[in-house]
Amino acid sequence: MKKVTNENEHRSPDLYFSAYLQVAGLEMIRTEKEGTRFYFVFDTSVGNFEELKAAWYNSTGKVAAQPYSHCLKSLKSLVHSG
């Protein structure tokens, strides 16, 4: 059964995009698992989600490398433990 997110949430299966959103300041409010797929759900009510998304897909988004690496490792741990 697919969970529906509300209008103030973004649900992503993309590990790298999710780490970027975390480092850029969006709060990850929960994770969801459907079969073998893992989703990261972010609160988009605070912040500039649309700008961050556009910057990601336009390759203009900038985040610090060390925190990005740390977030990737943390999210990978969540996926492998869940």
Q: What does the pLDDT look like over 7-22, one tens digit per residue? A: 899 999 999 999 999 9
| 37-43 average pLDDT score | 96
Quote the pLDDT of residue 3: 54
pLDDT tops 90 at residue 5: no
| 57-63 average pLDDT score | 96
Contact 73, 22 (CB under 8 A): no
Quote the pLDDT of residue 2: 46
Write phi, then psi, for 37 (nearest 5 degrees). -90, 140
Quick one: pLDDT band at residue 6, thresholds 50, 70, 90? confident
DSSP state of 44: -
What residue type is assigned to position 62 of the chain?
K
